[in-house]
């Protein structure tokens, strides 16, 4: 906005009106805006056609946040001088602050018509385009600003925001870096740089950028909460929560901080507190649909499915993400047709919404004449599509084309999607494989005998490689009236981390730490039992099917000697192909490259061979997916017997059960038992040489 001092330079001395205006300007410059506005108003009453009085009165009101009150005086100013660029710019700023972004764009265009070389106005125009969801045009506007002022920091900063919206995060980072070179002490640029690094999965570097922003502006609430999000990506959940709480302390009215606090509390399993934080965010921003969507997610995890569906609906009929989430929950609960219909409604509102396309491919089988195939393929070929959207489409097309038997084309899309995802996913293969090798040499002490039988539900751990049949096994067990399914919960690592540095080390490595390690494991075991009792107080047993717990078998036996361990297995090539065909979102970084996947599988297999040899006979039940499909009831009875439960025929009814399925296997579970997933690798055999070589290499 043009400052009152700039406007004052245009006055000519001498007239009474000029003297009155100068008195008003003096008050305005001194920050006494109420008195300035009184003087501007008095002048306008005497001289209704006084442009400067009308403009500066509107300017003061906008500066004070009295946007609606400013509009009549802006209208007067523009009527008096219809081409004045400063008045049109102020009109654009006022409209933008009221959320009237199309009106803002029109105003900035009018200002640019009078002053086309203004870098500031090009940035304003780009900002309005960005708010309208037109990042390609916004980027062009910011580039135009830089042609007129190559050192304009705001243009570089906002250019980075547009690139980020387009998924071009590396270019966004470069733009923020230039902004910082031009103005190194501008906290907003460091904050935005941190967001770009976070999008590139460089979370450690992102934290450093947020720290720099906070060193410059300690009460910068957005930097605090963005730092919390980066810490969450690093798995530092307690630190993440502290950062979000610092953001709330810095600005209690900042809804994103309360919202992010809620998402972190979800990670910590503190769902009731998460719901309270989400409600606080909603009170601050009643019309923000993403908050309603998070509320739905929390209610879903609390098992309050009807309320979750209502929360997703409350996000509004135009909030596409909530339509997709609602559809997925319906499918996960077995209402496949209703769920697909909801996701199709999302696509009708947003025909380029790649997550909706991807979700539909996971919910149903495609036919050769499926009307969604052509638009998906056309969209996947769009060069300007953000990377994350291209990943959605490649994985979706991999599934859809596999359904219709176009296996070579399907694999091409899977390979492309995995390449893109691998480029965005940090993975230290050497450290991962070294850790798995260390497990085979670790010493895990037996648990101290309990003086009394432990109370509460028995722990059942279903573990192994991802995509090896663990969801099917859990659904069979959860059919039993005495068993509750907790799904892929990280409860085990959380209770270990809560025991302090030693517990944190054991949680991160899976290895026993000598010293006070036995006390840590005892306390962790007690905490785990207490958590199960709180989760399902009336259940006789509670499952935990996080596949990665295969690293923790030694610790499990030391913590919970009565725990049930079930290892799910499947043909190695089918397992790995299924991993490669699944878009994992953070926990399986080894799965996006066939050679890395093969080496990981080989290390996993060696680890399980070690447990097989080290554990007492009968301590671990191994279930082969193929055997479960071919001889379902016999294998199901073996599992129930191993869990020391009496047989119940309800265990055979998993496809029709209303229990939700929240993993990548929900579509297959709802289809019931079939042999389509067996020997699937044969159709892709010619593409799997890197995988087979890595699995076979010593």
**Same domain? 635 vs 692:** yes
What is the per-residue pLDDT across 233-260, written as a single tens digit (0 to 9) for each? 887 888 999 999 999 999 999 999 999 9
**Same domain? 501 vs 359:** no
How many domains does the chain divide into?
3
Q: What is the 3-state secondary structure (H, E, C) of 540-552?
A: CEEEECCHHHHHH
Residue 400 lies in a domain: yes
What's the confidence (pLDDT) of residue 303? 80
**Same domain? 503 vs 459:** yes
**Same domain? 419 vs 470:** no
CB neighbour list of residue 648: distance below 8 Å, 6 or more residues apart: 479, 480, 481, 640
Provide the 3-class DSSP secondary structure of residue 347. helix
Q: How far is CA 95 from CA 107, 111, 119, 360, 565, in A?
A: 9, 14, 20, 39, 62
What's the confidence (pLDDT) of residue 1? 54
Residue 207 lies in a domain: no
The two counts, helices (H) then strands (E), for the chain are 37, 5
**Same domain? 370 vs 502:** no
What's the confidence (pLDDT) of residue 661? 46
The domain boundary residue, chosen from 64, 81, 98: 81
**Same domain? 484 vs 618:** yes
What's the confidence (pLDDT) of residue 8? 44
What's the confidence (pLDDT) of residue 11? 45
**Same domain? 392 vs 510:** no
What's the confidence (pLDDT) of residue 612? 95
Residue 126 lies in a domain: no
Residue 649 lies in a domain: yes
DSSP 541-603: EEEE--GGGGGGHHHHHHH-TT-EEEEEE--HHHHHHHHHTS---SS-GGGGSHHHHHHHHHH
The two tokens of residue 323 are: 């339509």
β-strand partners of 436: none
How far apart (Å, rounded) are the C-alpha atoms in residues 325 and 296? 9
How far apart (Å, rounded) are the C-alpha atoms in residues 222 and 236? 19
Provide the 3-class DSSP secondary structure of residue 503. helix
Residue 348 lies in a domain: yes
What's the confidence (pLDDT) of residue 671? 52
The two tokens of residue 493 are: 């690592």
Burial (CB < 10 A; 0-12, 13-18, 19+), residue 586, is exposed
Percent helix, strand and coil across the chain, each to the nearest 5: 70, 5, 30
CB atoms within 10 A of CB 495: 22
**Domain that includes residue 35, residue range:** 1-81
The domain boundary residue, chosen from 51, 81, 111: 81
CATH of the domain at 572: 3.40.50.300
**49, containing H or E segment:** none
Residue 662 lies in a domain: yes
**199, containing H or E segment:** helix 187-199
**Same domain? 634 vs 492:** yes
**624, containing H or E segment:** strand 620-624
How far apart (Å, rounded) are the C-alpha atoms in residues 34 and 42? 12
**Same domain? 477 vs 387:** no
CA atoms within 13 A on the CB side of 629: 21
The two tokens of residue 183 are: 């103005």
Residue 275 lies in a domain: no
What is the per-residue pLDDT across 435-471, written as a single tens digit (0 to 9) for each? 999 999 999 988 766 555 567 799 999 999 999 999 9
DSSP 206-267: HHHHHHHHHHH-TT-HHHHHHHHHHHHHTT-HHHHHHHHHHHHHH-TT-HHHHHHHHHHHHH
What's the confidence (pLDDT) of residue 263? 92
What's the confidence (pLDDT) of residue 449? 63
Beta strands 620-624 and 541-544 are unpaired
**Same domain? 362 vs 483:** no
The two tokens of residue 658 are: 């209303």
The domain boundary residue, chosen from 46, 81, 116: 81
Q: How far is CA 602 from the centre of its chain?
A: 31
How far apart (Å, rounded) are the C-alpha atoms in residues 250 and 219? 5
Q: Are residues 282 and 314 in contact, defined by beta-carbon separation less than 8 angstroms?
A: no
φ and ψ of 536, to 5 deg: -145, 75
Residue 147 lies in a domain: no
Provide the 3-class DSSP secondary structure of residue 186. coil
Q: Which stretches of the chain score pLDDT less than 70? A: 1-14, 448-454, 586, 654-674, 698
CATH of the domain at 409: 1.25.40.10
Q: Are residues 542 and 513 in contact, defined by beta-carbon separation less than 8 angstroms?
A: no
**Same domain? 396 vs 480:** no
**Same domain? 479 vs 381:** no
How far apart (Å, rounded) are the C-alpha atoms in residues 207 and 344? 39
């Amino acid at each position: 906005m043009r400052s009152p001092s700039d406007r004052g330079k245009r006055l000519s001395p001498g007239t009474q009106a000029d003297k009155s205006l100068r008195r008003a300007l003096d008050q305005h410059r001194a920050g006494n805006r109420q008195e300035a506005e009184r003087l501007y108003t008095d002048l306008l009453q005497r001289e209704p056609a006084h442009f400067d009085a009308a403009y500066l009165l509107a300017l003061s009101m906008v500066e004070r946040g009295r946007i609606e009150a400013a509009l009549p005086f802006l209208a007067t100013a523009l009527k008096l001088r219809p081409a004045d660029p400063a008045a049109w710019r102020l009109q654009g700023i006022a409209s933008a602050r009221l959320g009237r972004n199309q009106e803002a764009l029109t105003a900035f265009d009018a200002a640019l018509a009078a002053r086309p070389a203004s870098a500031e106005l090009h940035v304003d125009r780009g900002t309005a385009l960005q708010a309208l969801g037109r990042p390609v045009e916004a980027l062009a506007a910011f580039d135009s600003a830089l042609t007129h002022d190559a050192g304009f920091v705001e243009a570089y900063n906002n250019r980075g925001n547009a690139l980020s919206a387009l998924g071009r995060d590396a270019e966004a980072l470069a733009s923020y870096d230039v902004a910082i070179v031009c103005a190194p002490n501008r906290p907003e640029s460091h904050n935005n740089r941190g967001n770009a690094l976070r999008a590139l999965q460089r979370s450690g570097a992102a934290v450093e950028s947020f720290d720099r922003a906070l060193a410059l502006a300690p009460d910068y609430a957005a930097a605090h909460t963005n730092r919390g999000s980066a810490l969450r990506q690093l798995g530092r959940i307690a630190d993440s929560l502290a950062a979000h709480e610092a953001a709330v302390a810095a600005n209690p009215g900042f809804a994103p901080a309360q919202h992010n606090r809620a998402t972190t509390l979800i990670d910590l399993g503190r769902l009731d507190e998460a719901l309270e934080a989400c409600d606080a965010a909603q009170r601050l921003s009643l019309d923000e649909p993403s908050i309603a969507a998070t509320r739905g997610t929390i209610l879903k995890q609390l098992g309050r499915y009807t309320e979750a569906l209502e929360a997703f609906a409350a996000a509004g009929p135009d909030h596409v993400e909530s339509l997709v989430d609602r559809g997925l929950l319906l499918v996960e609960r077995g209402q496949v047709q209703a769920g697909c219909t909801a996701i199709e409604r999302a696509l009708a509102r947003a025909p380029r919404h790649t997550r909706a396309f991807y979700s539909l491919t996971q919910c149903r089988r495609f036919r050769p004449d499926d009307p969604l195939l052509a638009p998906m393929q056309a969209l996947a070929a769009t060069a300007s599509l953000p990377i994350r959207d291209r990943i959605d489409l490649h994985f979706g097309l991999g599934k859809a084309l596999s359904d219709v038997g176009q296996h070579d084309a399907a694999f091409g899309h899977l390979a492309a999607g995995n390449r893109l995802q691998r480029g965005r996913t940090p993975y230290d293969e050497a450290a991962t494989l070294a850790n798995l090798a260390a497990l085979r040499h670790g010493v895990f002490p037996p648990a101290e005998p309990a003086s009394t039988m432990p109370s509460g539900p028995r722990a059942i751990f279903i573990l192994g490689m991802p995509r090896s049949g663990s969801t099917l096994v859990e659904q069979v067990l959860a059919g039993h009236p005495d068993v509750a399914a907790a799904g892929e919960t990280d409860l085990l690592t959380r209770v270990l981390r809560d025991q302090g540095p030693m517990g944190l080390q054991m949680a991160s490595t899976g290895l026993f730490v000598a010293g006070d390690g036995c006390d840590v494991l005892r306390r962790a075991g007690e905490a785990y039992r207490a958590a199960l009792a709180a989760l399902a107080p009336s259940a006789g047993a509670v499952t935990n099917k996080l596949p990665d717990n295969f690293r923790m078998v030694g610790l499990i036996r030391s913590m919970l000697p009565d725990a049930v361990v079930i290892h799910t297995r499947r043909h190695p090539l089918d397992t790995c192909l299924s991993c490669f065909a699944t878009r994992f979102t953070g926990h399986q970084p080894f799965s996006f490259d066939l050679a890395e996947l093969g080496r990981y599988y080989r290390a996993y297999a060696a680890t399980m061979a070690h447990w097989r040899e080290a554990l007492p006979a009968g301590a671990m039940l191994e279930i082969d997916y193929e055997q479960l499909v071919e001889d379902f009831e016999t294998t199901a009875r073996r599992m129930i017997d191993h869990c020391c439960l009496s047989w119940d025929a309800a265990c055979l009814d998993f496809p029709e059960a209303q229990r939700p399925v929240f993993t990548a296997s929900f579509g297959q579970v709802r289809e019931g038992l079939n042999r389509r997933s067996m020997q699937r690798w044969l159709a892709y055999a010619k593409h799997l040489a890197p995988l087979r070589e890595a699995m076979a290499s010593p």
